[in-house]
Amino acid sequence: MPSVAAKGETFQVKALISHQMETGLRRDPKGDVIPRTIINKFACRYNDIVVFGVDLHEAMAANPYIEFYLRATESGRWSSSGRRMAATPTH
């Protein structure tokens, strides 16, 4: 996605969600079940408002790729740090 979006501009967002997936079906070396860890929600927020969201279920890819389009309601700049992505308006 572009680092800056002008008000009214439509732009494409691509997200590859990497995580340590675990099905809950495997066992560790001691024989204990490794707890299930899967991604079940994805949300894209702008000024703390969800502008795109999806519920994810079983049979999803281990590291899902999601692509969608948004329209900027005001000019802004995107930044990302670790697991969070934020949009900051520019006036």
User: What pLDDT digit, counting tens, does each position of 10-44 carry?
Assistant: 888 888 888 788 888 899 999 999 998 888 888 88
Token pair 């495997």: residue: 26
Residue pLDDT, tens place only, 42-86: 888 776 778 888 888 877 787 889 899 988 887 766 655 555 554
Closest CA to 65 of 30, 27, 21, 13: 13
Among 15, 13, 36, 32, residue whose Cα is nearest residue 24: 36
3 contacts 11 by C-beta, under 8 angstroms: no
- Pairwise CA distance, residues 24 & 36, whole Å: 4
